[in-house]
Amino acid sequence: MSDVLSYLSLPLTMLAVFGIQALSLQLILGGAGLLSFGHAAYFAVGGYVAAAVSVFALPALGLDPSTSPLFSLFVAALAGLLASGLTGFLVALPCLRLQGDYLAMATLGFGEIVVTVLKNVDAVGGTRGFKDIPKLTHPLALWLTLAAVVVFLHRLYASPLGFAIRATRDDEIASRSLGISTNRSKVLAFSIGTGLSGLAGAFHAHALQFISPDAASFDRSVEILLAVVLGGMFSLRGSLLGAFLLVALPEVLRFATPAIAEKRVLFFSLAVILLMILNPKGLAGLGDRLFHGLRRRPRNPPGASGSTGVPT
Amino acid sequence: MTPNISTPLLQAEKLTVRFGGLVALNGFNLSVPKGGLIGLIGPNGAGKTTVFNLMTGVYKPTAGTVLFEGESIGGRPAHAIARRGIARTFQNIRLFSGLTVRENLLAATAYARRHETFGTILGWPASLARMRANEKKVEEMLSLVGLSAHADAEASSLPYGSQRKLEIARALMTDPSLLLLDEPAAGMNPTEKEALRKLVAQIAARGLGVLVIEHDMRFVMNLCTTITVLDHGEVICVGDPKTVQNDKAVIEAYLGVEESHGLA
């Protein structure tokens, strides 16, 4: 039994970390309608800053993280969250004046800058990555944090700021005609989203005891984007579902026959393309469509409920 | 310039805007008193929506002033003008298509309730109570415009006429003192138009100033007390409905000059 648990410990950790990260992008992409191609960068910023706190800052202050792991984790995670949120804020100020493709290019560029910087700072391991980070987390703490993030985002969407963010996404001119500062909505959504991504990075670093510049890479950014879009970018549960699928599928396919296991990336990509063409609202939208189809409510368009970002 | 004794709610003086070489509006004057129902008509392309866009900060005037409650608002950002108390609807409907009918109205109160964000997220009882009070206000507004039955429908799934009503309701949710309606009756049937006319008159009776752009002449003539007629960016006539209907320049602007057949 304990063998099974220790085997599952890593996938369970990855599942929750990736879940938080997908939710953080859901706010930016589905909530605020901002296309970010560099979301992994903030994950790395959060991870590195949190690791630097528990490896350098806390011992320097005379506190050994191994004697008070929970407090150390709290301080480190908070530092990671604030650092990545602040980074996101500083990126957002100039970049959010750009629209669509241009914004995507700018965020992608910033992601590459983060990778390059991390590779060249020897104090945090350079290209070899940041090693020997104290193990400060436990799957349970992580899953509770994931639950807290879900509740936070759910309530945020029901709050005045949440409505301002979604109104800005749908129509900036109409939003401004109602007194909403669209710049403020976008900058805040981006900062909160990048902050939460950094929180995921902090947990990742302290669970695996290692983080490398690859964590900020374009490939990672695309993976998160894929999870959110695949699951359904307009709902929290859709994004979570997408994240879980993306983490779980390779684990499951590990046990498949070699013929399938070898070509799993190909099959997976095909499935994603088909799903996007047939159902742009993702798996959550597909679920709603089936649900509404069964209840025969022709006046409501498919996915009418559950497509606005509020459901859990 | 204005016969009103008290300061008018809105006053535009010598408003001019140029887009490159095109003069979209030239020396435009207009005054809207409290509780006033003012119509703005003119052929397509006359510059009516441009007037709205100048007054709501979508465009900046090239010259001239816009005074709102005695304060100059010309050239200020759109959201700042909205916060001062000017709300509008759009000719090409601009609802929040990803939100339900109810959520469209809740979004309109986002600025007024901005300080409630923290309390709502943390679940403070006082904030939740104010949130419920606001939701009740939304329900009242929905029943005022007759959309209660569609509260949970996606805004974009409503028929055209209902979308226009929802836009008016959304504008009213900001508690404005001036309401600008851009072709509110477009896409409505005669029964709906009559209900809308009564609704707009009722809104003005509360003391709001209302400025209406509308192509339906019967609607404008029955609703407004003063009408300004625009053609090619210039005011060609101002007066009560009867004066405007019998004005030679207005008839020519709409129907053309009689002898002009066959000429270049």
Residues B187-202 pLDDT 10s? 899 999 999 999 999 9
- Contacts B159 to A, Cβ<8 Å: none
Are the C-beta atoms of B13 and B51 separated by less than 8 Å? no
SS3 percent helix, strand, coil of chain A, rounded to 5, is: 75, 0, 25
Are the C-beta atoms of B46 and B232 separated by less than 8 Å? yes
Is a pLDDT exceeding 50 seen at residue A5?
yes
Question: In the structure, what pLDDT confidence band is assigned to residue A293 with cuts at 50, 70 and 90?
Answer: low
**B210: β partners:** B37, B179
| DSSP for residue B252 | H
A26–chain B nearest CA distance, Å? 15
Question: In the structure, what pLDDT confidence band is assigned to residue A311 with cuts at 50, 70 and 90?
Answer: very low
Are the C-beta atoms of B202 and B35 separated by less than 8 Å? no
Q: What mean pLDDT, rounded, does chain B reach?
A: 92
Q: Among all residues of chain A, which has the CA nearest to that of B99?
A: A308
Which pairing describes strands B10-19 and B22-32: parallel, antiparallel, or unpaired? antiparallel
- In angstroms, the Cα distances linking A258 to A3, A13, A253, A290 are 25, 26, 9, 34
Please report the number of interchain residue pairs, chain A to chain B, with beta-carbon separation below 8 angstroms. 121
User: Which amino acid, A70?
Assistant: L
- Contacts B106 to A, Cβ<8 Å: 163
Cα A195 to Cα B95: distance, rounded to the nearest angstrom: 30
Structure tokens at A6: 């220790």
Are the C-beta atoms of A19 and A146 separated by less than 8 Å? yes
What are the two backbone dihedrals, phi and then psi, of residue B12, each rounded to the nearest 5 degrees? Answer: -105, 130
- In angstroms, the Cα distances linking B125 to B118, B119, B120, B226 are 12, 8, 9, 49
ipTM: 0.91
Is a pLDDT exceeding 60 seen at residue B241?
yes
Cα B44 to Cα B46: distance, rounded to the nearest angstrom: 6
The C-alpha angle A92, A98, A99, rounded to 5 degrees, equals 115
pTM for the model stands at: 0.89
SS3 assignment, position A308? coil
- In angstroms, the Cα distances linking B214 to B57, B90, B150, B248 are 21, 12, 26, 20
Instruction: Tell me whether residues B107 and A163 touch, CB distance under 8 A.
Output: yes
Q: Which long-range contacts (CB under 8 A, 24 or more apart) does A187-190 make?
A: A187/A89, A187/A92, A187/A93, A187/A96, A188/A161, A189/A27, A189/A28, A189/A31, A189/A32, A189/A34, A189/A165, A190/A28, A190/A32, A190/A34, A190/A36, A190/A88, A190/A89, A190/A91, A190/A92, A190/A96
Question: Rounded to a whole number, what is the distance in angstroms from the first to the last CA of chain A?
Answer: 32
Cα A228 to Cα A234: distance, rounded to the nearest angstrom: 9
B200–chain A nearest CA distance, Å? 19
pLDDT over 90, % of chain B: 88
Of the residues B94, B147, B175, the best mutation for testing chain A's interface (the one with the most A CB atoms within 10 Å of its CB) is B94
Would you state the pLDDT for residue A47?
97
Lowest mean pLDDT among A49-63, A87-101, B15-29: A87-101
Is a pLDDT exceeding 80 seen at residue B253?
yes
SS3 assignment, position B46? coil
Question: In the structure, what pLDDT confidence band is assigned to residue A266 with cuts at 50, 70 and 90?
Answer: confident
Question: In the structure, what pLDDT confidence band is assigned to residue A282 with cuts at 50, 70 and 90?
Answer: confident
Cα A12 to Cα A143: distance, rounded to the nearest angstrom: 9
Are the C-beta atoms of B55 and B66 separated by less than 8 Å? yes
pLDDT over 70, % of chain A: 89
Of A155, A176, A299, the CB nearest to B79: A176
- Contacts B116 to A, Cβ<8 Å: 159-160
SS3 assignment, position A173? helix
Q: Does A256 touch chain B (CB under 8 A)?
A: no
Q: Give, for B200, the enclosing helix (H) or strand (E).
A: helix B190-205
Lowest mean pLDDT among A4-8, A282-286, B21-25: A4-8
Cα A84 to Cα A169: distance, rounded to the nearest angstrom: 23
Instruction: Tell me whether residues A299 and B153 touch, CB distance under 8 A.
Output: yes
